[in-house]
Chain A
Amino acid sequence: DAGVTQSPTHLIKTRGQQVTLRCSPKSGHDTVSWYQQALGQGPQFIFQYYEEEERQRGNFPDRFSGHQFPNYSSELNVNALLLGDSALYLCASSEPSGRAKIADTQYFGPGTRLTVL
């Protein structure tokens, strides 16, 4: 059973560019969340997708946007990249629940390391 997968593994961009990161959830999972983990810090919640809609959003600017596809995979897009966007971007999926259960376990992928020069 494949776990959460993310692509690419590493990415190098320059300031002002745009980037798209991809995530495939664990088999049977329908909810996808994205987190940003800056070096030496804990992950911070960006947003969560369920039924192809953004269900929750953290304190991130509109430059961060996402999408969920009918097969539950998801993309994270970041426009007008800043140096401060350099981080490990983690995708997590959780079990189908209809409505998100508070204690649902989130399963994390290996992340995409984004470097902005």
Chain B
Amino acid sequence: AQSVTQLGSHVSVSEGALVLLRCNYSSSVPPYLFWYVQYPNQGLQLLLKYTSAATLVKGINGFEAEFKKSETSFHLTKPSAHMSDAAEYFCAVSWEAAGNKLTFGGGTRVLVKP
């Protein structure tokens, strides 16, 4: 069965440091991949998505992610963390056979230390 795994339920980074959030998927067919951010008491906001064009995808707020088929990964990075990046981040996938329903990972909560 297709699935999504986010390594690390909590990540703590210092302000100005690199943010790296890991996402791996399990699928026998090419997926479409998404990263969403959720701020406290809010819904989900799309950061970026991969749809089989360029493997390096740039999103909003300085985030980017790279699709690596050989590693079945879609890790999210930001070179320099800002206090406003403190939130929960979700990786999600959709597959052709599943229509456009999203399957989400368990989420990674990011804490930014001053």
Q: Are A94 and B100 in contact (CB under 8 A)?
A: yes
> Contacts A42-B107, A103-B32; is A110 near B43 (CB within 8 Å)?
yes
- Tell me the count of chain A residues lying within 8 A, CB to CB, of chain B: 28
The proximity string for B residues 100-111 relative to A, scoring 1 for CB distances below 8 Å and 0 otherwise, is 111111110000
> Contacts A48-B99, A48-B101, A110-B43; is A103 near B107 (CB within 8 Å)?
no
Q: Are A44 and B104 in contact (CB under 8 A)?
A: yes
Q: Are B99 and A42 in contact (CB under 8 A)?
A: no
CA distance in complex: A92, B100 (Å) = 11
Number of A-B contacts (CB under 8 A): 68
- Tell me the count of chain B residues lying within 8 A, CB to CB, of chain A: 27
CA distance in complex: A58, B100 (Å) = 12
Cβ-defined partner of A102 (8 Å) among B4, B32, B43, B45: B32
Which residues of B lie under 8 Å from residue A48 when comparing CB positions?
99-101
The B53-108 residues at the A interface (CB cut-off 8 A) are 90, 92, 94-96, 98-107
**Would you list 28 pairs from A and B whose C-beta atoms are within 8 A, ordered by A residue?**
A4-B43, A33-B101, A40-B107, A41-B106, A42-B4, A43-B102, A48-B100, A48-B101, A55-B99, A56-B99, A56-B101, A58-B101, A90-B43, A92-B44, A92-B102, A102-B32, A102-B51, A102-B94, A103-B32, A103-B49, A103-B94, A104-B100, A106-B100, A108-B43, A108-B45, A110-B43, A111-B42, A111-B43
Q: Enumerate the 9 nearest inter-chain pairs by beta-carbon distance, A residue then B residue, closest first.
A: A42-B104, A108-B43, A103-B51, A108-B44, A100-B100, A45-B101, A110-B43, A103-B32, A104-B100
**A contact residues vs B (CB 8 Å cutoff):** 4, 33, 35, 40-45, 48, 55-56, 58, 90, 92, 94, 100-111
**B contact residues vs A (CB 8 Å cutoff):** 4, 32, 34, 36, 41-46, 49, 51, 90, 92, 94-96, 98-107
Other A-B contacts than A48-B100, A90-B44, A102-B99, 19 sampled, CB-CB below 8 A, are A33-B102, A35-B102, A40-B107, A42-B4, A42-B104, A43-B104, A45-B102, A55-B99, A56-B98, A101-B100, A102-B32, A102-B94, A103-B32, A103-B94, A105-B46, A106-B100, A109-B43, A110-B41, A110-B43
